[in-house]
Amino acid sequence: MTIRDAVESDLPAIIAIYNASIPSRMATADLQPISVDSRLAWFAEHTPTRRPLWVMEIDGWVAGWLSFRSFYGRPAYSATAELGIYVDPTYQRSGVGRQLLSRAIEQSPTLNLKTLLGFIFAHNEPSLLLFEKFGFERWGYLPKVAELDGIERDLMIMGRKIETGIRGLGDGERGGER
Map out the domains of the chain with their CATH numbers.
2-161 (3.40.630.30)
**CB-based contact 53:42 (threshold 8 Å):** no
- What is the helix (H) or strand (E) element at residue 98, kind and residue range? helix 96-107
Q: Which tens digit of pLDDT belongs to each residue from 88-136? A: 999 999 999 999 999 999 999 999 999 999 999 999 999 999 999 999 9
pLDDT band at 163 (very low <50, low <70, confident <90, very high): confident
**Distance from C-alpha of 117 to C-alpha of 55, rounded to nearest angstrom:** 19
- Rounded Cα distance, 159 and 153, in Å: 20
pLDDT band at 171 (very low <50, low <70, confident <90, very high): very low
pLDDT digits (tens, 9 = 90+) for 64-85: 999 999 999 899 999 999 999 9
Is the distance from CB of 67 to CB of 84 less than 8 angstroms? yes
pLDDT at position 165 is: 57
Q: What's the farthest any 2 CA atoms get from each other in the chain? A: 65
SS3 40: helix
